[in-house]
Structures are given as C-alpha cells and as structure tokens.
C-alpha cells in the first residue's frame, strides 16, 4: 500500500510539473527546494559539515550561498526530469547543448569502449538522456530505488532513447560485458561513499574518502577510455551544457592493485576539479566521507 501511495504521489507531481510552462515550473521547484532547505535541518547540517571539511577557507556567507544553490539546482533538475518525455533535439535546441564532444568521439573511435566519469554535479539525470537523444545511447550504473514501481517508472524515462541500466549489485560483470562487446559506453557516478571491499580510500578534497574502484578495474582490464562528462547549468546563457573533458589516463603497470588504486585517485581528483569549478551544483548533502579508515573517528 505504501509503495502505491508513494508511486502515485510522485507521478502526480511529475505530471503537474511537466504540464506547467518551463519557467513557471522552475519557480515552483525553487520554492519547494528552499522549503526543503529550511525544513530538513539534518540534510542541511550534512551540507554545512561537508563544506567545512572540504572548503574551510570560504566565508560562512559563501558556504550558505553554495548550499542554497545546491537545493536550487536539485529543484531545476526535478523539473527537467518531469519534462524529459517531451524532449526532442528540436525543442531543446536553445537550452541544451554539448561542448567538448570531440573528446568523447575520439575515445569512442578507439573501439575499446568509453567509461564516462561523472558524478552528482549539475543535472546528472539529464546528461545521459540528452546524450542518447543526440544519437549516443549508453549504459548507466545506478542503484535500484526501494520502491519497485518508482524504479520501473524512472528507468523507463531514462531509457527512452536507447539507454540501458546496469544495477550496482551486478555492474562489474555488466561493465566488462559492455566493453568487450566492441566499444560500448557506460556512465559511472563515482562520487558517492562506499564501503570496503567495493571501495578503497583515496584523497578527495584532501580527505580520505572510500571510493568505488570498479571504473579503474574495468579500464585497466579492457583498455576502455575514461572521459569526464557533466551536464552543467550556465546561469549567464540560461542553458545546460553537457561538457566533456580530455581523457583521464589510467595507469597500466605490472602491479594491478597499485594501478587500480592510482586510477581511482586520478578519477576522483578529476571529479574534485569539476566540483571546485561549480561548487553550488554538487550534492554536498550526501555524506561523502561517512566511511572512515580503521581507527579513525566518524566525521558526522
């Protein structure tokens, strides 16, 4: 019963936001986001703690501005997701675009597969959807939603233009299969807290963070290229840009364990570079440093 109630509430909200003019829907979502900001102090406290850990030299006023921006951009993404079933290359031409596509195309041309290094920055739900709509379908490594009906509903939208889902509980095998079948593309959100043995500790904003090693493992085993890609909101031009960066080189020495750890660090450092560039668009309310090395005190 609860699953059904949650499902119909989400569907009703999605339909309502999807029918409103885009500008009006964004205003409504911003109001909702700020209500969540003020009403859910626990989430806000996590964001404040993360900013204090990662960017300690910023003023308290700047940190508040960043954190409020996080909620605003989450509201924007909600609107876009609710409207994605109506997206076409034509009707999104003025506010969705790609930059640095040559980095992706060069990696794809090598024929060994492409691992899109990404994270919860900007409009991550829009990025893979837009990329597939423009003729580049890809796999997405995701966690199943607890509500099964919602999981089916959300994945149906994600996969409208040929994308496919790889669930986290079996993504290693799925990744290897995709790469070995002749150059598939898979996007990996690599900025969430993990626990050993799925994760290893590398530095993120100078703090040890338990991080998924699957991307580095698959890149080393298959020779797949690792290319960063993030859908960023540009407030000056009032548009989203799917930005691809230069390929991140992965180590290939005789020491597999060392290569995987170093590759994971390189990928994590790349994500940090993008977060520093767009700090108000990253998900600071996630407990990124929850898992601690043995003997270290909790940070939350």
pLDDT digit string (tens) for the chain, length 300 residues:
677 777 787 788 888 888 899 899 999 988 988 899 999 999 999 999 999 999 999 999 999 999 999 999 999 999 999 999 999 999 999 999 999 999 999 999 999 999 999 999 999 999 999 999 999 999 988 888 888 898 999 999 999 999 988 876 666 666 666 666 556 899 999 999 999 988 999 999 999 999 999 999 999 988 999 999 999 999 999 999 999 999 999 999 989 999 999 999 999 999 999 999 999 999 999 999 999 999 999 999
- Of 178, 176, 248, nearest in space to 218 by CA: 176
Tell me the sheet residues that pair with 282.
Answer: 121
What tokens does 277 get?
């560039």
Q: Can you give the pLDDT at residue 114?
A: 95
* pTM, to two decimals: 0.94
Q: How far apart are the first and last CA of the chain?
A: 34
So what's the pLDDT on residue 182?
Answer: 54
What is the reported pLDDT for 66? 98
Handedness of CA 11, 66, 129, 141 (dihedral sign): negative
Distance CA 55, CA 276 (A): 9
Name the strands in the sheet holding 114-118, side by side, starting at the edge strand that comes first in the sequence.
Answer: 96-99, 239-244, 225-234, 114-118, 185-189, 139-142, 164-167
Q: Which two three-digit tokens encode residue 251? A: 């180590």
Under 8 Å CB-to-CB from 78, ≥6 apart: which residues?
Answer: 17, 29, 32
């Amino acid at each position: 019963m609860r699953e059904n109630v949650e499902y119909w509430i989400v569907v009703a909200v999605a339909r309502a936001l999807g029918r409103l003019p885009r500008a009006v829907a964004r205003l409504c979502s911003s109001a909702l986001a700020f209500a969540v900001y003020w009403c859910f102090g626990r989430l806000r406290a996590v964001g404040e703690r993360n900013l204090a850990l990662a960017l300690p030299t910023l003023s308290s006023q700047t940190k508040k501005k960043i954190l409020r921006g996080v909620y605003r951009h989450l509201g924007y993404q909600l609107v876009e997701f609710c409207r994605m079933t109506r997206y076409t290359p034509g009707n999104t031409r003025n506010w969705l675009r790609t930059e640095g596509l040559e980095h992706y195309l060069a990696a794809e041309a090598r024929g060994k597969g492409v691992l899109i290094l990404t994270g919860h920055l900007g409009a991550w739900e829009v990025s893979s959807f837009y990329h597939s709509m423009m003729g580049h379908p890809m796999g997405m490594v995701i966690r199943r939603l607890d509500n099964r009906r919602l999981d089916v509903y959300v994945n149906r939208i994600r996969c409208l233009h040929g994308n496919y889902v790889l669930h986290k509980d079996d993504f290693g095998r799925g990744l290897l299969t995709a790469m070995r079948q002749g150059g598939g593309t898979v996007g990996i959100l690599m900025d969430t807290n993990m626990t050993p043995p799925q994760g290893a500790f590398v530095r993120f904003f100078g703090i040890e963070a338990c991080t998924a090693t699957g991307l580095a493992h698959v890149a080393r085993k298959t020779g797949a290229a690792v290319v960063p890609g993030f859908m960023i909101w540009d407030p000056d031009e009032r548009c989203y840009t799917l930005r691809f960066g230069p390929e991140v080189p992965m180590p290939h020495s005789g020491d597999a364990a060392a290569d995987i750890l170093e590759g994971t660090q390189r990928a994590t450092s790349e994500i940090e570079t993008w977060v520093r560039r767009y700090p108000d668009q990253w998900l600071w309310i996630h407990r990124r440093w929850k898992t601690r090395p043995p003997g270290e005190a909790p940070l939350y």
